[in-house]
Amino acid sequence: MKRLNIFFAVVLMLCSFIGFTPKAMAAFAEQPATLVVFDRSGNVTQDVYRIWREPVRWAYHFPDFKMVEPDTAKAVAAEKIFTGKGKVKIDAAVMQSIAEEAQIEALVLVMVDDLNSYMVNRFFGFRNDFDDTYIESIANADIYVYRHDGNRFSKKEIFERDVEPMGNQKDPVDIMKWAICKQVNLMEGRPIIE
């Protein structure tokens, strides 16, 4: 029994010497980060939001960041962007005021203008490919990324329109997901995932 007590005393002294205590383990920054989406297309559902939230979570992840619900940030952003005089131009100052009022460290704002896929028929061609079916995919949005630490800001306008044979088409949701990922990684100086 005496040996066991000595062993625990030595382990406790070693742990306190190297700073490995429960108090030191629980010291996480947990800075809030969020994704806010304003949709004019009517096609951004909760499932689409969850898909787009993933690249934001990859960049701003635990233990340094904590993903928070966008309700407060969205209300503040709507108040700052959509005024009685119309929509204001979104720049670093506007994003900074949104982040400060909503108490957000990292803010990703996506303004979706069009997000859709249409089935189209080909009306020209030879013999067998006269009636081929194609899918037209459109992704049109503006992406704004702001980080309160260092007052860093970046923006990107996305407009991608593709017409591909059915089965080979690009999903506009995926186009936007990877555009968000690329923009966040560019601003944070991380490798770009293509």
Residue 124 has pLDDT above 70, yes or no: no
Q: Do the domain assignments include residue 127?
A: yes
The answer to whether 172 and 159 have CB atoms below 8 angstroms apart is: no
- CA–CA distance, 179 with 39 (Å, rounded to integer): 16
Residue 21 has pLDDT above 60, yes or no: no
Q: Do the domain assignments include residue 11?
A: no
pLDDT digits (tens, 9 = 90+) for 36-45: 999 999 999 9
CA 154 to centroid of chain Cα atoms: 13
The DSSP 8-state label assigned to residue 170 in this structure reads P
Number of domains making up the chain:
1
What's the CATH code of the domain at 58? 3.40.50
- CA–CA distance, 63 with 168 (Å, rounded to integer): 39
Q: Which two tokens stand for residue 176?
A: 């936007």
Average pLDDT over residues 6-25: 61
Q: Do the domain assignments include residue 9?
A: no
pLDDT of residue 63: 85
pLDDT digits (tens, 9 = 90+) for 143-159: 999 999 999 999 999 99
Q: Which two tokens stand for residue 77?
A: 């952003």
Q: Do the domain assignments include residue 70?
A: yes
Average pLDDT over residues 48-58: 96
3-state secondary structure of 122: coil
Q: Do the domain assignments include residue 3?
A: no
Residue 23 has pLDDT above 50, yes or no: no
Q: Do the domain assignments include residue 139?
A: yes
Q: How confident is the prediction for the chain on average, in pLDDT?
A: 87
- CA–CA distance, 183 with 153 (Å, rounded to integer): 10
- Structural domain of 95: 28-188
pLDDT of residue 192: 83
CA 177 to centroid of chain Cα atoms: 8
- CA–CA distance, 180 with 41 (Å, rounded to integer): 18
Q: Do the domain assignments include residue 49?
A: yes
pLDDT of residue 14: 65
pLDDT digits (tens, 9 = 90+) for 58-97: 999 888 899 999 999 999 999 999 988 889 999 999 999 9
Q: Do the domain assignments include residue 93?
A: yes
pLDDT of residue 125: 54
